[in-house]
């Protein structure tokens, strides 16, 4: 994500952070959620009702859902990923998921793939760390009309940060949104007009100075390969299958394939920055699903959108997530 855009995301996260009742930073952890619960009881009624509305608008419902999960061993935030033929159950706390395999998300939603149904994003052991080197990540995507100005995405980051950032969670990325910097690989940022895949490498230690906020390498698809309507090879008004393959047989490269019925578009990318990301991709990264808007998303969709444009907010769906070892697929 470019810097200007990161600010919009920051603003969105900030709005979400407003659900903390006191002026204290909220750390997003269960303890903090409990504290918030205590504060609620002594809060004036007007604050109480607003806080409830705010909390249901974003991922802060996770704590309550976590409790329910403990009581029933069932959770609406359970999310299954098929790994080499086996459906394993993880969690996207706070998310709206149907049949445990379809995530539906809209503007300002942001979910982390967790081992447990917890809102604590500061404990490394809570995350499912995906190790995608030598593997292929694939999913079915339905953008449902999320057009110009929308950024529907899923990506990998080297979470958690060692301490909570500006927005109270341990989120980090290569643009240091929230104040914490870390390696980031964008599996996909998209709307109906464009799709971009970006490697964002950071040096050690990760910082504003050592992280590549613009990204390299970058791959992009836009009309007439990828766009709304059947004049495009991939008609983004309908679902398509999307895959990112992390190949390491000769040298490191990434193959991206978009498939819709018999139509297929694909491209590969490789450079030294991608090779330098490989140890991180091997050791593990956190999967994040996110959706944000900007009136100027032309760095992504400028081939067919003009600023200002306003994201429709149509909820997108990602389903049928598979992770397959390349060698088993060959």
Ligand X SMILES: *[C@@H]1O[C@H](CO)[C@@H](O)[C@H](O)[C@H]1NC(C)=O
**Residue pair 271/215 in contact by the 8 Å Cβ criterion:** no
By CB under 6 A, residue 50 contacts ligand X: yes
Q: What are phi and psi of 191, to 5 degrees?
A: -145, -170
Residues numbered 190 to 249 that lie near ligand X (CB under 6 A) are 239-241
Q: Would you say 91 and 115 are in contact if contact means Cβ atoms under 8 Å apart?
A: yes
Provide the residue count of the chain: 330
Backbone angles phi, psi at 2, to 5 degrees: -75, 165
In our burial notation (b when 16+ CB lie closer than 10 A, e otherwise), range 138-153 reads bbbbbbbbbbbbbbbb
Q: At 215, give phi and psi (nearest 5°).
A: 95, 150
Nearest Cα neighbor of 19 from 45, 44, 41, 40 is 40
Number of residues that bind ligand X (CB under 6 A): 15
Extract the tokens encoding 312: 């429709």
Q: 33 or 277, CB closer to ligand X?
A: 33
Nearest by Cα to 33 from 59, 14, 71: 59
Among 12, 51, 103, 190, binds ligand X (CB under 6 A): 51
DSSP designation for 315: P
Check binding of 76 to ligand X (CB under 6 A): no
Q: Which stretch binds ligand X (CB under 6 A): 25-33, 91-99, 177-185, 256-264?
A: 256-264
Stretch that binds ligand X, among 122-130, 227-235, 258-266, 309-317 (CB under 6 A): 258-266
For ligand X, which is the closer residue by CB, 259 or 275? 259
Selected binder of ligand X within 2, 7, 40, 54 (CB under 6 A): 54
Q: Which one of 259, 266, 319, 324 is in contact with ligand X (CB under 6 A)?
A: 259
Question: Between residues 139 and 156, which has the closer beta carbon with respect to ligand X?
Answer: 139
4 binds ligand X (CB under 6 A): no
What sign for the dihedral angle of Cα 40, 41, 43, 46?
Answer: positive
Interaction of residue 140 with ligand X, rule CB under 6 A: yes
- Asked if 16 contacts 26 with a C-beta cutoff of 8 angstroms, the reply is no
Stretch that binds ligand X, among 2-10, 50-58, 83-91, 145-153 (CB under 6 A): 50-58
Residue 219 CB: number of other CB atoms within 10 A? 19
Does residue 11 touch ligand X according to CB under 6 A?
no
Q: How far is the CB of 75 from ligand X (least distance, A)?
A: 26
The interface mask with ligand X, positions 15-34, x = CB under 6 A, is x--xx-x-------------
Site residues (CB under 6 A) for ligand X?
Answer: 15, 18-19, 21, 47, 50-51, 54, 140, 239-241, 259-261
């Amino acid at each position: 994500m470019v810097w200007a855009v990161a600010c919009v995301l920051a603003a969105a996260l900030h709005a979400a952070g407003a659900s903390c009742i006191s002026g204290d930073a909220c750390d997003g952890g269960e303890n903090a959620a409990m504290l918030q619960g205590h504060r609620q009881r002594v809060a004036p009624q007007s604050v109480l009702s607003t806080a409830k509305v705010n909390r249901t608008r974003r991922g802060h419902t996770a704590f309550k859902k976590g409790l329910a999960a403990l009581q029933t061993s069932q959770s609406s935030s359970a999310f299954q990923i098929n790994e080499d033929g086996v459906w394993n159950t993880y969690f996207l706390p706070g998310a709206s998921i149907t049949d445990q395999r379809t995530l539906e998300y809209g503007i300002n939603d942001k979910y982390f793939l967790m081992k447990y149904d917890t809102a604590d994003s500061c404990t490394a052991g809570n995350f499912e760390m995906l190790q995608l080197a030598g593997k292929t990540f694939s999913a079915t995507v339905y953008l449902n009309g999320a057009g110009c100005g929308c950024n529907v995405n899923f990506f990998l980051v080297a979470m958690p940060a060692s301490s909570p950032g500006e927005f109270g969670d341990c989120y980090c990325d290569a643009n240091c949104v929230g104040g914490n910097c870390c390696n980031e690989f964008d599996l996909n940022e998209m709307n109906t007009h464009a799709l971009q895949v970006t490697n964002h490498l950071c040096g050690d230690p990760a910082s504003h100075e050592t992280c590549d906020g613009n990204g390299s390498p970058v791959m992009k698809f836009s009309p007439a390969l990828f766009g709304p309507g059947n004049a495009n090879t991939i008609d983004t008004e309908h679902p398509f299958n999307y895959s990112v393959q992390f190949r390491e047989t000769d040298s490191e490269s990434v193959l991206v394939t978009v498939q819709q019925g018999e139509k297929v578009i694909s491209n590969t990318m490789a450079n030294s920055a991608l090779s330098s990301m490989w140890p991180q991709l091997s050791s593990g990264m956190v999967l994040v699903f996110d959706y944000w808007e900007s009136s100027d998303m032309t760095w992504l969709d400028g081939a067919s959108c003009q600023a200002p444009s306003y994201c429709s907010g149509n909820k997108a769906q990602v389903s049928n997530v598979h992770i397959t070892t390349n060698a088993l697929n060959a």
